[in-house]
A = this chain, B = another copy of it.
């Protein structure tokens, strides 16, 4: 009944959408442990492919994702999470959504403005 982790080396892609506005916020990946932690705690956990570790979204910034709904696709290899995004921004750049650049006349252009300053939030 659950996600099929066998197809993509133990990972499934996860589409994260704002429960309130419907805006697509980001794409992340879960392994089985991240999946179980998410269901158990109600806070989104992912597997970081770049850092090769389990992470709770917002563990550093405080901008956690509170899970409102979980759906699975027809062939059980993709998850859709609808969340309340604490802090109002999912992207590490400070934008609400990671999808803040839109194609126009052959070029991607930024739309909107960041919600927070990443230098403040991540203290790096």
B-chain residues with CB within 8 Å of residue A98 when the two chains form the complex: 73-75, 78
Residues of A within 8 Å of B, CB-based: how many? 33
Which residue from B27, B39, B73, B75 sits with its C-beta under 8 Å from A103? Answer: B39
Nearest CB in chain B: distance from A69 CB, A: 6
Complex contacts, A108 vs chain B, CB 8 Å? 1-2, 71-72
Given A70-B103, A74-B93, A103-B39, does the pair A24, B13 have CB atoms closer than 8 Å?
A: no
A56 at the interface (CB under 8 A from B): no
A73 interface neighbour in B13, B23, B99, Cβ under 8 Å: B99
Provide the A108-122 mask, 1 if CB < 8 A to any CB of B, else 0.
100000000000000
